[in-house]
Amino acid sequence: MASIGQIIFWSMIVLIFVMAGLIILLLAIAFSVSQGSVVTNKPFPVGNLGQDVILDCKFQTKTSQVSSDVSITWQKDGLTGVVYQYQNNADHLQDQNPQFKNKVKLFPDAIHTGNASLLLRTVRMEDEGVYRCSVTASGVTGTVSIHLRVGAFSAPNITRSNNSLKAYAQRWLPKPDVTWFDQNGTQLKSSTEFYSIPMGIVQVMSDLQVQVTEGTYTCIIQNALVTAVSEATVRDNEVLTRTDFIFNSSPNIVTSHVIGTAFIIFCMLVY
Ligand X SMILES: *[C@@H]1O[C@H](CO)[C@@H](O)[C@H](O)[C@H]1NC(C)=O
Per CB under 6 A, residues contacting ligand X are 54, 56, 58, 107, 110, 115, 117, 157, 159, 162, 182-184, 215
The DSSP secondary-structure symbol of 83 reads S
Comparing every residue's Cβ against ligand X, the nearest one is: 157
> Residue 107's closest CA among 147, 45, 68, 54?
54
Within 10 A of 90 (CB to CB), how many other CB atoms are there? 9
Within 10 A of 228 (CB to CB), how many other CB atoms are there? 23
CB of 191 to ligand X, least distance (A): 11
| Nearer to ligand X among residue 106 and residue 173 (C-beta) | 106
CB of 144 to ligand X, least distance (A): 11
| Nearer to ligand X among residue 92 and residue 160 (C-beta) | 160
| Nearer to ligand X among residue 139 and residue 215 (C-beta) | 215
CB of 180 to ligand X, least distance (A): 12
The DSSP secondary-structure symbol of 103 reads T
> Residue 97's closest CA among 129, 68, 143, 54?
129
d(CA 251, CA 45): 10
Within 10 A of 88 (CB to CB), how many other CB atoms are there? 9
| Nearer to ligand X among residue 167 and residue 225 (C-beta) | 167
CB of 260 to ligand X, least distance (A): 31
CB of 127 to ligand X, least distance (A): 18
**Region of residue 133 (phi > 0: left; psi between -120 and 50: alpha; otherwise: beta):** beta
Amino acid identity, position 157: N
| Nearer to ligand X among residue 126 and residue 236 (C-beta) | 236
d(CA 134, CA 144): 7
- The three-state secondary structure class of 259 is helix
CB of 93 to ligand X, least distance (A): 20
| Nearer to ligand X among residue 249 and residue 256 (C-beta) | 249
d(CA 166, CA 237): 14
| Nearer to ligand X among residue 49 and residue 232 (C-beta) | 232
| Nearer to ligand X among residue 122 and residue 162 (C-beta) | 162
d(CA 232, CA 242): 7
CB of 66 to ligand X, least distance (A): 13
Within 10 A of 151 (CB to CB), how many other CB atoms are there? 23
Percentage helix, strand, coil for the chain under 3-state DSSP, each rounded to 5? 25, 45, 35
CB of 159 to ligand X, least distance (A): 5
